[in-house]
């Protein structure tokens, strides 16, 4: 059996994690397999030598792209040329569709006998722009989906697709305990704690900050746990400086899941953190505000009823959503209070979280990365 050569492209931290887990599983299933491509520290720890810093690929929003367009186009060209030179058996692009699909199209056009091309993390065609599925099917040979309802959208267009489960299954979300975080931050084990998640972007903080500040003010007897990112820490400290109650802000990734587990309830900006809280078993609500123009566009193009992926998976609103006109401190506080004091309300969410975990693949005998590796290797056989 000859040595297989796989080219991987990951452009952000979540993709780096997926790529590293996939590499581990591929090496276990096929010793001697070789890797090339673009990735971060986790993938490099598995033996990848990235051809350039993977952080550059995260500059794919419109405002970030325009000033860097020439450099980004050079990186796309460099990547295509590198793939042509190496001539791998398989190309696996991981998320970052703006960059990934430009590279894929270039490889299809330029390379005489292109490698088998697989994309990892399906674009959310079920939420908006469903017509993308047909276009995506034309440029890929295979698609690895995270959620069990995603493959049919692409299979009906003739694309081979598989659902492997969510990467949260392979992290610490399901296993972490809150006791160590409480002890490290001098939070009594019987103290009521509320997690406050402001989002990951400055713009989210600007729109949500005052609302969540007022929510916190409504719980003077609680202690607050605020996991965040370094670029938001100063702003959050300034915003919460007038709190009478203790506010425990952490940017330490090593204690992220212990911080989650230490929360009795939480309020979070709508996004990935909602699913993370569900995986960690923390009863919560989500909130979000955007510009009036963006909201008008979202209402026109988005085809799903809910914002929280957990609600979408269950097809009902178990986790309360306070979006746009409903994003008010009084409404959010009332819902949070119920989660802290009403055992039936808490249990309703906790029961739903177990159903979400099943859909994420928590109880499957194989991990998501093992199933993804099997799918990738099927293109070699």
Which of these, 142, 140, 166, 177, lies nearest to 21 by C-alpha position? 166
For position 203, which CATH number holds?
Answer: 3.40.50.2000
- One domain, residues 343 and 242: yes
Decide if 332 is inside a domain: yes
- One domain, residues 32 and 61: yes
- pLDDT of 360 reads 94
Paired tokens of 26: 């591929």
CA angle in degrees (0–180, nearest 5) for 356-306-99: 85
Decide if 173 is inside a domain: no
- One domain, residues 211 and 287: yes
Our separate counts of H helices and E strands in the chain read 16, 12
CA distance 307 to 313: 11
Paired tokens of 379: 């293109």
Decide if 118 is inside a domain: yes
CA distance 173 to 177: 9
Sign of the dihedral through C-alpha 77, 110, 112, 121: positive
**Are 339 and 284 in contact, with CB atoms under 8 Å apart?**
yes
- Residue found under tokens 């001697």: 32
CA distance 118 to 61: 23
**Are 3 and 84 in contact, with CB atoms under 8 Å apart?**
no
Query: What's the total number of domains in the chain?
Result: 2
- Residue found under tokens 């009906």: 156
Paired tokens of 331: 């409404």
- One domain, residues 353 and 372: no
- pLDDT of 63 reads 47
Paired tokens of 293: 């123009």
- One domain, residues 102 and 205: no
Helix H or strand E segment including 153? helix 151-155
CA distance 9 to 38: 5
Decide if 171 is inside a domain: no
Decide if 49 is inside a domain: yes
- One domain, residues 256 and 277: yes
Q: Three-state SS for 318?
A: coil
- One domain, residues 183 and 140: no
CA distance 13 to 338: 35
Decide if 172 is inside a domain: no
- One domain, residues 195 and 90: no
Per-residue pLDDT of the chain (381 residues; tens, 9 = 90+): 568 999 999 988 889 999 999 999 999 999 999 999 999 999 999 999 999 988 877 654 444 556 677 888 899 999 999 999 999 999 999 998 888 999 999 999 987 788 999 999 999 999 888 899 999 999 999 999 999 999 999 999 999 999 999 999 998 888 899 999 999 999 999 999 999 999 988 888 999 999 999 999 999 999 999 999 898 999 999 999 999 899 999 999 899 999 999 999 999 998 889 999 999 999 999 999 988 888 888 788 788 899 999 999 999 999 999 999 999 999 999 999 999 999 999 999 999 999 999 999 998 999 999 999 999 999 997
- pLDDT of 55 reads 80
Q: Report DSSP state, residue 242.
A: T
- One domain, residues 125 and 185: no
- One domain, residues 114 and 228: no
- pLDDT of 60 reads 44
Decide if 194 is inside a domain: yes
CA distance 338 to 89: 55
Paired tokens of 341: 């004091």
CA distance 269 to 277: 11
Kindly provide the b/e burial profile for residues 103-142, where b requires at least 16 CB atoms within 10 angstroms of the residue's own CB. bbebbeeebeebbbbbbbbbbbbbebeeebbeebbeebbb
**Are 153 and 133 in contact, with CB atoms under 8 Å apart?**
yes
Decide if 286 is inside a domain: yes
Structural domain for 291, as ranges? 179-360
CA distance 267 to 283: 9
Which of these, 120, 299, 321, 324, lies nearest to 208 by C-alpha position? 324
- One domain, residues 261 and 349: yes
Q: Three-state SS for 277?
A: helix
What length is written for the chain?
Answer: 381
- One domain, residues 187 and 327: yes
């Amino acid at each position: 059996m000859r040595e297989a050569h796989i080219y991987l492209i990951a452009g952000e931290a979540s993709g780096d994690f997926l790529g590293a887990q996939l590499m581990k599983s591929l090496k276990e299933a096929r010793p001697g397999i070789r890797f090339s491509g673009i990735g971060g520290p986790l993938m490099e720890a598995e033996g990848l030598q990235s051809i350039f810093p993977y952080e550059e690929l995260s500059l794919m929003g419109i405002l970030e792209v325009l000033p860097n367009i020439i450099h980004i186009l050079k990186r796309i060209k460099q990547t295509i040329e590198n793939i042509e030179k190496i001539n791998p058996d398989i190309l696996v692009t991981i998320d970052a569709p703006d960059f990934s699909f430009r590279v894929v199209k270039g490889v299809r056009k330029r390379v005489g006998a292109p490698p088998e091309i697989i994309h990892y993390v399906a674009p959310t065609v079920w939420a908006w722009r469903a017509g993308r599925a047909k276009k995506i099917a034309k440029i890929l040979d295979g698609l690895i989906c995270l959620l069990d309802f995603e493959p049919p959208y692409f299979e009906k267009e003739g694309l081979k697709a598989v659902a492997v489960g969510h990467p949260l299954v392979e992290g610490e979300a399901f296993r972490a305990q809150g006791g160590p975080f409480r002890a490290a931050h001098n939070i009594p084990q019987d103290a009521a704690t509320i997690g406050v998640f402001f989002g990951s972007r400055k713009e989210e903080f600007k729109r949500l900050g005052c609302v969540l500040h007022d929510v916190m003010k409504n719980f003077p007897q609680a202690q607050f746990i605020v996991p965040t990112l370094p670029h938001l820490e100063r702003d959050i400290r300034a915003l919460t400086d007038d709190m009478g109650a203790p506010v425990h802000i952490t940017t330490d990734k090593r204690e992220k899941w212990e911080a989650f587990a230490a929360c009795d309830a939480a309020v979070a900006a709508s996004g990935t953190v909602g699913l993370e809280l569900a995986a960690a078993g923390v009863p919560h609500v989500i909130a979000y505000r955007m510009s009036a123009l963006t909201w008008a566009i979202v209402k026109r193009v988005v085809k799903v009823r809910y914002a929280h992926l957990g609600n979408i998976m269950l097809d009902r609103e178990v986790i309360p959503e306070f979006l746009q006109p409903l994003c008010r401190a009084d409404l959010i506080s009332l819902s949070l209070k119920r989660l802290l004091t009403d055992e039936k309300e808490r249990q309703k969410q906790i029961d739903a979280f177990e159903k979400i975990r099943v859909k994420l693949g928590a109880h499957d005998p194989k991990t998501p990365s093992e199933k993804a590796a099997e799918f990738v290797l099927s293109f070699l056989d």
